[in-house]
């Protein structure tokens, strides 16, 4: 997390510089201008707006297990590509609480790809968007994942809690880490499509 | 010398032919007798022809004269023809043809006579003339064969020597190789060789199979090598191009994936589609009416759709991370550029190929068709004209497009697979798709 914070001023400076360069260019890219304006205003905070999701995951120490899992599943290129995706990234501590997580990571293959894609959502979903959807949905909102399954978002006090059909749930602990190709929310649990011990079978 | 002798013998044979003809008792009459039987002219012609076939022009001319002489008592036409034959001796066989042509009216008769001649007296003189000529040929052929035989004998001797040497050499090499193998096997089996490389791999194993690699390359060796390399952790480095680097062996992709083909009976009952994958391949039960028996199975990186009643495979889908995993060779049927339209401007075949399968876009090595990376995950959830799928309650349009596509009372906007979809808030139908990468 600290790296995110350390990255923020640097990224803002870079973006301001980019904006200056772009301003001189008559054919400047509209989206780039928008991004730089947002960064200059300081909202939303863009800890890694010049980096991809994959690059940021690799840079954050507390997300190393998730980053390893992404790499083992062969999804580093995916999260470093065009996207855009929203990623719910469990912390290392969250992985430690899962009994067969390490085994699953080591085994790799289709089950791991499925588990990882359960944490990836199409498009850019900010926490504010989730709150709005939960409100409009009467207390819950469904979110489609890249695995084909859906997650459910609810409010627990001020926190947004994400749960799976199998009953696993995780809380968003750090929200809206916008990246160049999407968004990262840090969560405190691993979202498993099945009950904790049912992930095998590959 | 042989040639000279052959020439002399041929000449002697040729010279003896008229004498032999006369020696049949009738001299010139023999010719007449022949003509009586079937037409002297035809015989004269035949004589000329034979002469032409067998020897030189001079000799033929000579024979023509003889034929002329032989036909002295014959009808004029026969003489004329014979004379023409003389005049035309230098023209070769064509000289006889005008003679034949002159008596076209008698053609049928003459042909009949020729046929008769073949069956009767002419046979003698003709066959002898032939024999003489054939003798020449045979003599020449004999000479050639002799020379060839001499050459062949020499060559055979050389070849036999080579073969013998090669055989001995092969035996020696095979024996040495077998000895080395025995040593290696003993060393490996007795575990007397405990050498390890820097990575802890068994050097005896590696030596053994490195040796076997060059041992004629029969199947068992390759199998053994693959297994050994797998044990020693060298499999991925040694799998030859074009062979799938599967869990157990380097196998041709087609062979590996034909374990269960369409129409085959899936005999691994009870090995259901894993729960983690059921979201993608939902059970429909029997004809979609009952939710009982699963009609999907998973094996070897493929999801198989089965007929619930017969367990026959009705469709198979390579699964991302399974048959569509990084490092795997693309299954058959993925040779064609097949990306969804909206992603085509983004991923074009160039340095790499890009292929779509199991809701993902794969980056592929164009040289060996192996998957190098997963460039994009897709869901394929939206279809224009159909209701908005579940799971899109939250607004998810990328930041750069939020000003242009924000929800209002009439429309909602949702992002999916490179497109922003416009949704009617009243009917919840998807009205339009806006491609972001166009």
Give the model confidence (pLDDT) of B341-368 as tens digits: 888 888 888 889 999 988 899 999 988 8
Residue A6 distance to chain B (closest CA, Å): 23
Beta-bridge partner residues of B433: B421
| Residue A60 main-chain phi, psi, to 5 deg | -95, 120
pLDDT in tens, A75-129: 999 999 888 999 999 999 999 888 777 777 887 888 888 889 889 999 999 999 9
Contacting residues of B for A149, CB less than 8 Å apart: 279-280
C-alpha distance from residue B435 to each of A202, B384, B425 (Å): 36, 13, 21
Closest CB to A82: pick one of B374, B376, B381: B376
Mutate to test the interface with A, among B247, B271, B272, B276 (most CBs of A within 10 A): B276
Cβ contact, residue pair B390, A142, below 8 Å: yes
DSSP string, B274-305: PGGGTTTS----GGGT---S--EEEETTEEEE
According to the model, what pLDDT value does residue B299 have?
77
Beta-bridge partner residues of B272: B297
Helices (H), B120-218: 122-190, 203-213
Is B233 near chain A, with CB under 8 Å? no
Residue A93 distance to chain B (closest CA, Å): 23
According to the model, what pLDDT value does residue A91 have?
93
A 28-67 residues inside an 8 A Cβ radius of B: 30-31, 34-35, 38
Read off the tokens for B325: 């995993």
Give the chain A residue nearest B388 (alpha carbons). A144
According to the model, what pLDDT value does residue A24 have?
36
H or E element in which residue A186 lies: strand A182-187
Residue % of chain A over a pLDDT of 90: 38
Read off the tokens for B335: 């040779």
Residue B393 distance to chain A (closest CA, Å): 6
According to the model, what pLDDT value does residue A185 have?
94
B 389-428 residues inside an 8 A Cβ radius of A: 389-400, 414-418
According to the model, what pLDDT value does residue B259 have?
60
According to the model, what pLDDT value does residue B126 have?
43
As its CATH architecture, domain A33-124+148-187 has Roll (2.30)
What is the distance of C-alpha A134 from the center of its chain? 19
- Quote the CA–CA distance of B252 and B352 in Å, as a whole number: 22
Residue A62 distance to chain B (closest CA, Å): 25
The arithmetic mean of pLDDT across residues A170-194, rounded, is 89
Cβ contact, residue pair A120, B377, below 8 Å: yes
Is the pLDDT at B379 greater than 80? The verdict is yes
The arithmetic mean of pLDDT across residues B131-159, rounded, is 68
According to the model, what pLDDT value does residue B195 have?
59
Residue B223 distance to chain A (closest CA, Å): 24
CA proximity to A113, closest of A18, A1, A3, A202: A202
Q: Any idea which residue has 């491609």 for tokens?
A: B435
Q: How does residue B431 score in pLDDT terms, banded at 50, 70 and 90?
A: very high
Read off the tokens for A181: 């190709």
According to the model, what pLDDT value does residue A99 have?
79
- Quote the CA–CA distance of A162 and A193 in Å, as a whole number: 12
Give the least confident one: A84-93, B56-65, B126-135, B394-403: B56-65
According to the model, what pLDDT value does residue A183 have?
92
CA proximity to B72, closest of B23, B126, B117, B32: B32
According to the model, what pLDDT value does residue B275 have?
58
> What burial letters (b/e) apply to A81-111, b meaning 16+ CB within 10 Å?
bbbbbbbbbbbeebbeebeebeebbeebbbb
Contacting residues of A for B277, CB less than 8 Å apart: 110-111, 114, 201
Contacting residues of B for A198, CB less than 8 Å apart: 275-276
- Quote the CA–CA distance of A128 and A132 in Å, as a whole number: 6
Cβ contact, residue pair A122, B417, below 8 Å: yes
Give the chain A residue nearest B318 (alpha carbons). A110
Is the pLDDT at B223 greater than 50? The verdict is no
CA proximity to B305, closest of B288, B320, B329: B288
Per the model's pLDDT, the better-predicted residue between A71 and A24 turns out to be: A71
Which residues have C-beta within 8 Å of that of residue A197, sequence separation ≥ 6? Answer: A99, A100
Contacting residues of B for A147, CB less than 8 Å apart: 279-280
Cβ contact, residue pair A124, B396, below 8 Å: yes
The arithmetic mean of pLDDT across residues B76-89, rounded, is 43
According to the model, what pLDDT value does residue B73 have?
38
Is B270 near chain A, with CB under 8 Å? no
Is A139 near chain B, with CB under 8 Å? no
Is B373 near chain A, with CB under 8 Å? yes
Contacting residues of B for A142, CB less than 8 Å apart: 390-393
Is A75 near chain B, with CB under 8 Å? yes
ipTM of the shown complex = 0.73
Average pLDDT, chain B: 62
Contacting residues of A for B301, CB less than 8 Å apart: 109-110
Give the least confident one: B107-111, B147-151, B331-335, B402-406: B107-111
C-alpha distance from residue A30 to each of A119, A125, A183, B351 (Å): 31, 21, 20, 30
* Angle at CA of residue A195, ends A189 and A196, nearest 5°: 55
pLDDT in tens, B280-297: 555 544 444 444 455 777
Per the model's pLDDT, the better-predicted residue between B147 and A27 turns out to be: B147
Helices (H), B198-333: 203-213, 219-232, 235-238, 253-257
Cβ contact, residue pair A74, B374, below 8 Å: yes
Residue A105 distance to chain B (closest CA, Å): 13
According to the model, what pLDDT value does residue B116 have?
46
Which residues have C-beta within 8 Å of that of residue B39, sequence separation ≥ 6? Answer: B78, B106, B109, B110, B113, B114, B117
Grouping H, G, I as helix, E, B as strand and the rest as coil, residue A33 is helix
Identify whether the C-beta of residue B285 lies closer than 8 Å to the C-beta of residue B278: no
Is the pLDDT at B423 greater than 90? The verdict is yes
| Residue B345 main-chain phi, psi, to 5 deg | -65, -25
pLDDT in tens, B163-202: 778 777 777 777 776 666 566 555 545 545 555 555 555 5
Cβ contact, residue pair B393, A137, below 8 Å: yes
Per the model's pLDDT, the better-predicted residue between B111 and A17 turns out to be: B111
Grouping H, G, I as helix, E, B as strand and the rest as coil, residue B356 is strand
């Amino acid at each position: 997390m600290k790296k995110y914070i350390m990255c923020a001023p640097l990224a803002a400076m870079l973006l301001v510089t980019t904006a200056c360069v772009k301003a001189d260019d008559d054919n400047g890219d509209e989206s780039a201008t928008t991004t730089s304006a947002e960064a200059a205003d300081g909202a939303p905070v863009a800890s890694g707006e010049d980096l991809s999701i994959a690059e940021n995951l690799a840079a954050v120490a507390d997300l190393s297990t998730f980053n390893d899992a992404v790499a083992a599943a062969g999804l580093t290129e995916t999260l470093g590509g065009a996207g855009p995706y929203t990623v719910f990234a469990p912390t290392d501590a969250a992985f430690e609480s899962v009994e067969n997580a390490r085994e699953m990571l080591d085994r790799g293959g289709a089950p791991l790809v499925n588990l990882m894609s359960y944490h990836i959502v199409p498009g850019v979903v900010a926490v504010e968007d989730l709150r709005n959807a939960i409100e409009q949905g009467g207390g819950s909102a469904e979110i489609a994942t890249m695995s084909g399954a859906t997650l459910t978002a609810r409010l627990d006090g001020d926190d947004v809690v994400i749960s799976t059909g199998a009953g696993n749930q995780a809380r968003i602990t750090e929200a809206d880490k916008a990246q160049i190709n999407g968004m990262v929310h840090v969560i405190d649990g691993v979202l498993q499509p099945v009950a904790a011990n049912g992930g095998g079978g590959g | 010398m042989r040639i000279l002798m052959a020439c002399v013998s041929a000449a002697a044979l040729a010279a003896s032919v008229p004498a032999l003809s006369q020696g049949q008792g009738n001299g010139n009459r023999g010719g007449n007798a022949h003509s009586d039987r079937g037409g002297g002219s035809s015989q004269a012609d035949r004589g000329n022809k034979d002469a032409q076939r067998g020897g030189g022009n001079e000799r033929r001319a000579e024979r023509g004269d003889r034929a002329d002489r032989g036909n002295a008592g014959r009808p004029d036409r026969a003489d004329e023809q014979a004379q023409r034959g003389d005049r035309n001796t230098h023209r070769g066989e064509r000289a006889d043809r005008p003679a034949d042509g002159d008596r076209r009216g008698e053609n049928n008769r003459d042909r009949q006579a020729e046929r008769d001649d073949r069956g009767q007296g002419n046979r003698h003189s003709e066959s002898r003339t032939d024999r003489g000529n054939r003798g020449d040929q045979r003599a020449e052929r004999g000479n050639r064969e002799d020379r060839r035989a001499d050459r062949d004998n020499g060559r055979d001797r050389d070849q036999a020597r080579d073969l013998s040497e090669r055989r001995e050499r092969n035996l020696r090499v095979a024996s040495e190789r077998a000895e080395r193998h025995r040593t290696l096997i003993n060393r490996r089996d007795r575990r007397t060789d405990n050498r390890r490389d820097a990575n802890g791999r068994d050097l005896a194993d590696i030596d053994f199979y490195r040796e076997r690699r060059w041992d004629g390359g029969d199947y068992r060796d390759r199998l053994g090598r693959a297994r050994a390399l797998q044990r020693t952790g060298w499999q991925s480095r040694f799998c030859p191009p074009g062979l799938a680097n599967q869990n157990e062996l380097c196998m041709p992709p087609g062979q590996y994936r034909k374990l269960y083909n369409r129409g085959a009976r899936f005999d691994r009952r009870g090995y259901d589609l894993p729960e983690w994958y059921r979201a993608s391949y939902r059970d429909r039960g029997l004809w979609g009416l009952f939710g009982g028996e699963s009609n999907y199975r998973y094996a070897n990186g493929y999801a198989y759709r089965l007929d619930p009643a017969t367990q026959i495979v009705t469709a198979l889908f390579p699964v991302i991370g399974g048959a569509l995993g990084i490092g795997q060779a693309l299954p058959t049927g993925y040779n064609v550029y097949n990306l969804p339209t909206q992603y085509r401007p983004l991923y074009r075949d160039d340095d790499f190929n890009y292929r779509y399968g199991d809701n993902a876009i794969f980056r592929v090595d164009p040289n060996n068709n192996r998957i190098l990376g997963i460039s994009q995950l897709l869901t394929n959830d939206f279809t224009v004209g159909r209701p908005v799928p579940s799971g899109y309650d939250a607004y998810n349009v990328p930041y750069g497009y939020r000003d242009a596509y924000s929800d209002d009372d009439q429309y909602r906007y949702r992002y999916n697979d490179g497109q922003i979809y416009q949704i009617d808030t009243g009917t919840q139908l998807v009205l339009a798709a806006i491609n972001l990468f166009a």
